[in-house]
Protein backbone atom coordinates (compact mmCIF):
# COMPACT_ATOMS: atom_id res chain seq x y z
CA UNK A 1 0.00 0.00 0.00
CA UNK A 2 1.25 3.47 -0.95
CA UNK A 3 0.55 6.08 1.75
CA UNK A 4 0.94 9.86 1.82
CA UNK A 5 1.08 11.57 5.24
CA UNK A 6 0.40 15.30 5.27
CA UNK A 7 2.29 17.11 8.00
CA UNK A 8 4.76 14.26 7.69
CA UNK A 9 7.60 16.19 9.31
CA UNK A 10 5.58 17.17 12.34
CA UNK A 11 5.54 15.32 15.66
CA UNK A 12 2.65 12.99 14.87
CA UNK A 13 3.28 12.76 11.14
CA UNK A 14 6.98 11.87 11.36
CA UNK A 15 6.49 9.22 14.04
CA UNK A 16 3.61 7.74 12.06
CA UNK A 17 5.59 7.77 8.82
CA UNK A 18 8.52 5.94 10.42
CA UNK A 19 6.23 3.45 12.17
CA UNK A 20 4.44 2.57 8.92
CA UNK A 21 7.68 2.42 6.95
CA UNK A 22 9.01 -0.14 9.43
CA UNK A 23 5.79 -2.10 8.87
CA UNK A 24 6.61 -2.41 5.16
CA UNK A 25 4.32 0.28 3.73
CA UNK A 26 5.46 2.62 0.96
CA UNK A 27 5.35 5.94 2.79
CA UNK A 28 5.62 9.52 1.54
CA UNK A 29 5.43 12.82 3.39
CA UNK A 30 4.01 16.23 2.48
CA UNK A 31 5.30 19.10 4.61
CA UNK A 32 6.36 22.67 3.85
CA UNK A 33 8.80 22.62 6.81
CA UNK A 34 7.22 25.73 8.31
CA UNK A 35 7.21 24.60 11.91
CA UNK A 36 10.22 24.67 14.16
CA UNK A 37 11.58 21.16 14.42
CA UNK A 38 10.31 19.99 11.04
CA UNK A 39 13.80 19.96 9.51
CA UNK A 40 14.98 17.86 12.44
CA UNK A 41 12.26 15.32 11.67
CA UNK A 42 12.95 15.56 7.94
CA UNK A 43 16.42 14.14 8.55
CA UNK A 44 14.83 11.18 10.35
CA UNK A 45 12.62 10.49 7.34
CA UNK A 46 15.51 10.78 4.91
CA UNK A 47 17.51 8.24 6.90
CA UNK A 48 14.78 5.70 6.17
CA UNK A 49 14.36 6.71 2.54
CA UNK A 50 11.02 8.45 3.04
CA UNK A 51 10.52 11.17 0.45
CA UNK A 52 9.04 14.52 1.53
CA UNK A 53 7.18 16.76 -0.89
CA UNK A 54 8.04 20.29 0.24
CA UNK A 55 4.64 21.78 -0.58
CA UNK A 56 2.12 23.98 1.19
CA UNK A 57 -1.10 22.07 1.74
CA UNK A 58 -3.16 25.05 0.55
CA UNK A 59 -1.56 24.81 -2.92
CA UNK A 60 -3.92 22.44 -4.75
CA UNK A 61 -2.45 23.17 -8.18
CA UNK A 62 0.70 21.33 -7.07
CA UNK A 63 -0.93 18.73 -4.83
CA UNK A 64 -3.15 17.45 -7.65
CA UNK A 65 -0.04 16.72 -9.74
CA UNK A 66 1.42 14.35 -7.14
CA UNK A 67 1.38 10.63 -7.88
CA UNK A 68 -1.60 8.52 -6.87
CA UNK A 69 -1.75 7.02 -3.41
CA UNK A 70 -3.87 4.24 -1.98
CA UNK A 71 -4.36 6.16 1.26
CA UNK A 72 -3.77 9.68 2.51
CA UNK A 73 -3.43 10.30 6.24
CA UNK A 74 -4.18 13.96 6.92
CA UNK A 75 -2.04 14.82 9.96
CA UNK A 76 -1.30 18.37 8.86
CA UNK A 77 -2.60 21.05 11.21
CA UNK A 78 -1.84 24.26 12.98
CA UNK A 79 -2.42 22.62 16.38
CA UNK A 80 -2.26 25.53 18.80
CA UNK A 81 -5.59 26.74 20.22
CA UNK A 82 -4.10 30.23 20.43
CA UNK A 83 -2.66 30.28 16.90
CA UNK A 84 -5.39 32.68 15.77
CA UNK A 85 -3.64 35.39 17.77
CA UNK A 86 -0.65 35.42 15.43
CA UNK A 87 -1.93 34.27 12.05
CA UNK A 88 -5.60 33.45 11.56
CA UNK A 89 -5.14 33.10 7.79
CA UNK A 90 -2.60 30.30 8.28
CA UNK A 91 -4.94 28.58 10.73
CA UNK A 92 -7.82 28.55 8.22
CA UNK A 93 -5.64 27.76 5.20
CA UNK A 94 -3.88 24.84 6.89
CA UNK A 95 -6.68 23.27 8.89
CA UNK A 96 -9.65 23.80 6.60
CA UNK A 97 -8.57 24.74 3.07
CA UNK A 98 -5.77 22.18 3.33
CA UNK A 99 -8.16 19.40 4.25
CA UNK A 100 -10.46 20.37 1.37
CA UNK A 101 -7.50 20.08 -1.01
CA UNK A 102 -6.69 16.62 0.31
CA UNK A 103 -10.32 15.57 -0.13
CA UNK A 104 -10.19 16.74 -3.76
CA UNK A 105 -6.98 14.79 -4.30
CA UNK A 106 -8.64 11.68 -2.85
CA UNK A 107 -11.63 12.11 -5.17
CA UNK A 108 -9.44 12.52 -8.25
CA UNK A 109 -7.50 9.33 -7.53
CA UNK A 110 -10.06 7.18 -5.72
CA UNK A 111 -7.90 7.32 -2.59
CA UNK A 112 -9.03 6.46 0.93
CA UNK A 113 -8.63 9.05 3.69
CA UNK A 114 -7.76 8.89 7.38
CA UNK A 115 -8.30 12.25 9.06
CA UNK A 116 -6.69 13.03 12.40
CA UNK A 117 -9.07 15.33 14.24
CA UNK A 118 -9.10 16.79 17.74
CA UNK A 119 -10.89 16.59 21.07
CA UNK A 120 -11.24 20.34 20.71
CA UNK A 121 -14.30 19.85 18.49
CA UNK A 122 -16.42 19.60 21.64
CA UNK A 123 -18.42 22.49 23.07
CA UNK A 124 -16.41 24.62 25.49
CA UNK A 125 -19.38 25.44 27.71
CA UNK A 126 -20.36 21.80 28.06
CA UNK A 127 -16.79 20.85 28.94
CA UNK A 128 -16.53 23.64 31.51
CA UNK A 129 -19.84 22.60 33.06
CA UNK A 130 -18.24 19.30 34.09
CA UNK A 131 -16.37 21.26 36.77
CA UNK A 132 -18.51 24.18 37.87
CA UNK A 133 -15.98 25.91 40.10
CA UNK A 134 -13.94 28.72 38.57
CA UNK A 135 -11.12 27.92 40.98
CA UNK A 136 -10.07 24.32 41.46
CA UNK A 137 -8.30 24.28 44.82
CA UNK A 138 -8.44 20.53 45.38
CA UNK A 139 -7.81 17.43 43.33
CA UNK A 140 -10.64 16.71 40.88
CA UNK A 141 -12.44 13.49 41.76
CA UNK A 142 -14.65 13.34 38.67
CA UNK A 143 -14.51 9.99 36.88
CA UNK A 144 -16.45 10.82 33.71
CA UNK A 145 -14.99 9.72 30.39
CA UNK A 146 -15.92 11.72 27.29
CA UNK A 147 -17.20 9.68 24.38
CA UNK A 148 -17.85 10.38 20.72
CA UNK A 149 -21.39 11.61 21.45
CA UNK A 150 -20.41 14.45 23.80
CA UNK A 151 -21.89 17.76 22.61
CA UNK A 152 -20.27 19.47 19.63
CA UNK A 153 -22.95 22.20 19.60
CA UNK A 154 -21.58 25.62 20.45
CA UNK A 155 -18.22 27.39 20.46
CA UNK A 156 -15.02 25.37 20.45
CA UNK A 157 -12.11 27.75 19.66
CA UNK A 158 -11.19 28.64 16.10
CA UNK A 159 -8.82 25.69 16.03
CA UNK A 160 -11.61 23.35 17.11
CA UNK A 161 -13.94 24.96 14.59
CA UNK A 162 -11.56 24.25 11.71
CA UNK A 163 -11.17 20.61 12.73
CA UNK A 164 -14.90 20.07 13.23
CA UNK A 165 -15.75 21.80 9.95
CA UNK A 166 -13.21 19.59 8.19
CA UNK A 167 -14.93 16.55 9.68
CA UNK A 168 -18.30 17.74 8.40
CA UNK A 169 -16.84 18.51 4.98
CA UNK A 170 -15.48 14.98 4.71
CA UNK A 171 -18.87 13.51 5.66
CA UNK A 172 -20.83 15.72 3.27
CA UNK A 173 -18.59 14.93 0.31
CA UNK A 174 -18.58 11.23 1.15
CA UNK A 175 -22.37 11.24 0.98
CA UNK A 176 -22.32 12.29 -2.68
CA UNK A 177 -19.18 10.44 -3.78
CA UNK A 178 -17.21 7.23 -3.31
CA UNK A 179 -14.89 8.78 -0.73
CA UNK A 180 -14.07 6.30 2.02
CA UNK A 181 -12.71 7.73 5.26
CA UNK A 182 -11.95 7.24 8.94
CA UNK A 183 -11.99 10.20 11.35
CA UNK A 184 -10.35 9.87 14.77
CA UNK A 185 -10.39 12.62 17.38
CA UNK A 186 -7.29 12.73 19.57
CA UNK A 187 -6.62 14.77 22.70
CA UNK A 188 -3.18 15.28 24.25
CA UNK A 189 -0.48 13.25 22.50
CA UNK A 190 3.07 13.06 23.84
CA UNK A 191 6.35 11.26 23.34
CA UNK A 192 9.84 11.60 21.86
CA UNK A 193 10.42 14.05 19.01
CA UNK A 194 7.84 16.51 20.30
CA UNK A 195 9.11 20.08 20.65
CA UNK A 196 6.68 21.22 23.31
CA UNK A 197 5.35 24.70 23.92
CA UNK A 198 3.08 26.13 26.59
CA UNK A 199 -0.05 25.86 24.44
CA UNK A 200 0.85 22.68 22.55
CA UNK A 201 2.95 19.74 23.71
CA UNK A 202 3.05 20.72 27.38
CA UNK A 203 4.17 17.28 28.60
CA UNK A 204 7.43 17.51 26.65
CA UNK A 205 7.93 21.12 27.72
CA UNK A 206 7.35 20.24 31.37
CA UNK A 207 10.16 17.69 31.35
CA UNK A 208 12.50 19.98 29.42
CA UNK A 209 12.01 22.83 31.89
CA UNK A 210 12.70 20.48 34.80
CA UNK A 211 15.89 19.23 33.18
CA UNK A 212 17.04 22.83 32.74
CA UNK A 213 15.66 24.08 36.07
CA UNK A 214 13.59 26.77 34.38
CA UNK A 215 10.35 28.09 35.82
CA UNK A 216 6.84 27.10 34.74
CA UNK A 217 3.34 28.33 35.51
CA UNK A 218 0.05 26.78 36.49
CA UNK A 219 -2.33 28.81 34.34
CA UNK A 220 -6.04 29.29 34.93
CA UNK A 221 -8.63 28.04 37.41
CA UNK A 222 -6.91 29.84 40.26
CA UNK A 223 -3.42 28.68 39.32
CA UNK A 224 -3.48 25.57 41.51
CA UNK A 225 -2.48 23.11 38.77
CA UNK A 226 -5.42 20.77 39.31
CA UNK A 227 -6.71 20.72 35.71
CA UNK A 228 -6.74 17.19 34.30
CA UNK A 229 -5.95 15.76 30.87
CA UNK A 230 -5.43 12.23 29.65
CA UNK A 231 -2.20 11.60 27.75
CA UNK A 232 -1.66 9.25 24.80
CA UNK A 233 1.81 8.02 23.85
CA UNK A 234 2.64 8.57 20.19
CA UNK A 235 3.45 4.86 19.77
CA UNK A 236 -0.06 3.93 20.89
CA UNK A 237 -1.52 6.36 18.36
CA UNK A 238 0.56 4.72 15.63
CA UNK A 239 -0.70 1.28 16.67
CA UNK A 240 -4.31 2.44 16.40
CA UNK A 241 -3.83 4.04 12.98
CA UNK A 242 -2.16 0.84 11.81
CA UNK A 243 -5.19 -1.16 12.92
CA UNK A 244 -7.48 1.26 11.09
CA UNK A 245 -5.43 0.91 7.91
CA UNK A 246 -5.59 -2.87 8.01
CA UNK A 247 -9.38 -2.83 8.40
CA UNK A 248 -10.29 0.21 6.29
CA UNK A 249 -11.91 -1.86 3.52
CA UNK A 250 -14.33 -3.33 6.07
CA UNK A 251 -14.63 -0.44 8.53
CA UNK A 252 -14.93 3.01 6.98
CA UNK A 253 -17.02 6.17 7.01
CA UNK A 254 -16.89 6.19 10.81
CA UNK A 255 -15.80 8.71 13.44
CA UNK A 256 -13.94 7.67 16.59
CA UNK A 257 -12.31 9.23 19.62
CA UNK A 258 -9.14 7.90 21.23
CA UNK A 259 -6.85 8.98 24.05
CA UNK A 260 -4.96 7.94 27.11
CA UNK A 261 -8.14 7.25 29.06
CA UNK A 262 -8.80 7.37 32.78
CA UNK A 263 -5.69 5.39 33.71
CA UNK A 264 -3.51 7.87 31.85
CA UNK A 265 -5.11 11.03 33.23
CA UNK A 266 -2.94 13.49 35.13
CA UNK A 267 -3.12 16.98 36.60
CA UNK A 268 -0.41 19.57 36.10
CA UNK A 269 0.46 19.25 39.78
CA UNK A 270 0.82 15.48 39.42
CA UNK A 271 2.89 15.95 36.27
CA UNK A 272 5.21 18.22 38.23
CA UNK A 273 5.76 15.49 40.82
CA UNK A 274 6.54 12.96 38.08
CA UNK A 275 9.06 15.32 36.48
CA UNK A 276 10.70 16.01 39.85
CA UNK A 277 11.06 12.29 40.48
CA UNK A 278 12.56 11.56 37.05
CA UNK A 279 14.95 14.51 36.84
CA UNK A 280 15.73 14.96 40.53
CA UNK A 281 15.12 18.69 40.07
CA UNK A 282 12.61 21.01 41.70
CA UNK A 283 11.73 24.21 39.89
CA UNK A 284 9.69 27.28 40.65
CA UNK A 285 6.05 26.98 39.64
CA UNK A 286 4.26 30.31 39.32
CA UNK A 287 0.50 30.80 39.65
CA UNK A 288 -1.49 32.59 36.98
CA UNK A 289 -5.05 32.76 38.27
CA UNK A 290 -6.77 34.08 35.14
CA UNK A 291 -8.41 31.45 32.96
CA UNK A 292 -8.24 31.66 29.17
CA UNK A 293 -11.60 31.64 27.38
CA UNK A 294 -10.38 28.54 25.54
CA UNK A 295 -9.18 26.59 28.55
CA UNK A 296 -11.02 23.57 29.93
CA UNK A 297 -10.68 22.06 33.41
CA UNK A 298 -11.02 18.40 32.55
CA UNK A 299 -10.82 16.04 29.59
CA UNK A 300 -10.54 12.27 29.85
CA UNK A 301 -11.28 10.15 26.79
CA UNK A 302 -13.51 7.10 26.55
CA UNK A 303 -11.85 4.42 24.42
CA UNK A 304 -14.85 2.12 24.50
CA UNK A 305 -15.56 2.15 20.75
CA UNK A 306 -11.98 1.77 19.49
CA UNK A 307 -11.39 -0.99 22.04
CA UNK A 308 -14.50 -2.81 20.84
CA UNK A 309 -13.85 -2.47 17.12
CA UNK A 310 -10.05 -2.52 16.90
CA UNK A 311 -9.19 -4.42 20.11
CA UNK A 312 -6.98 -1.43 20.93
CA UNK A 313 -6.13 0.23 24.20
CA UNK A 314 -3.10 2.29 25.28
CA UNK A 315 -0.10 0.24 26.35
CA UNK A 316 2.08 3.07 27.66
CA UNK A 317 1.26 4.65 31.02
CA UNK A 318 2.12 8.12 32.27
CA UNK A 319 5.46 7.04 33.72
CA UNK A 320 6.40 5.30 30.45
CA UNK A 321 5.62 8.46 28.50
CA UNK A 322 7.63 10.64 30.86
CA UNK A 323 10.63 8.30 30.85
CA UNK A 324 10.63 8.01 27.05
CA UNK A 325 10.58 11.79 26.63
CA UNK A 326 13.24 12.27 29.32
CA UNK A 327 15.57 9.71 27.71
CA UNK A 328 15.19 11.30 24.29
CA UNK A 329 15.82 14.80 25.60
CA UNK A 330 18.93 13.79 27.53
CA UNK A 331 20.37 11.80 24.64
CA UNK A 332 19.87 14.69 22.19
CA UNK A 333 20.32 17.56 24.62
CA UNK A 334 22.85 19.60 22.62
CA UNK A 335 20.72 19.54 19.49
CA UNK A 336 17.43 20.15 21.28
CA UNK A 337 18.65 23.35 22.92
CA UNK A 338 18.07 25.03 19.57
CA UNK A 339 14.41 23.95 19.45
CA UNK A 340 13.05 24.38 22.96
CA UNK A 341 12.29 27.66 24.71
How far is Cα of residue 113 from the mean position of the Cα atoms in its chain? 17
In a domain, residue 94? The reply is yes
E strands, 263-329, are 265-267, 285-288, 298-299
Q: Which of 189, 241, 179, 203 lies closest to 79, judged by CA?
A: 189
In a domain, residue 290? The reply is yes
User: pTM of whole model > 0.85?
Assistant: yes
Give dist(CA 185, CA 160) in Å, integer: 11
In a domain, residue 113? The reply is yes
Considering its fold, how many domains does the chain have in total? 1
In a domain, residue 114? The reply is yes
Contact 73, 241 (CB under 8 A): yes
CATH code (residue 131) = 3.40.50.720
Quick one: pLDDT at residue 85?
Answer: 62
Length of the chain: 341
Give the gyration radius of the chain's Cα atoms.
19
pLDDT in tens, 125-160: 999 998 877 788 888 887 789 999 999 999 999 999
pLDDT in tens, 155-179: 999 999 999 999 999 999 999 999 9
**Residue 10 structural domain:** 2-336
| Percentage above 90 pLDDT, the chain | 86
Give dist(CA 259, CA 108) in Å, integer: 33
In a domain, residue 341? The reply is no
Give dist(CA 265, CA 187) in Å, integer: 11
pLDDT in tens, 258-283: 999 999 999 999 999 999 999 999 99
Give dist(CA 66, CA 62) in Å, integer: 7
In a domain, residue 176? The reply is yes
Residues 6+ apart with CB under 8 A from 86: none
Amino acid sequence: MKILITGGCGFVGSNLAIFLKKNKYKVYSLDNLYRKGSKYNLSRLKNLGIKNYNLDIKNFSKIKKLQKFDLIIDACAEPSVNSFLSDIDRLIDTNLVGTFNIIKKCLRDNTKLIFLSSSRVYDLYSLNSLIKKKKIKKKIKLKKEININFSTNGVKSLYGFTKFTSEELIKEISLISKLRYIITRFGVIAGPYQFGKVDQGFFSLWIWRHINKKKLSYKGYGGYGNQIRDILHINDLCELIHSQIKKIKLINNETFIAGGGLKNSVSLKQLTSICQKITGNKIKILREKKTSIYDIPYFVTSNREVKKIYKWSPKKNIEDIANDIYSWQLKNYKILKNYFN
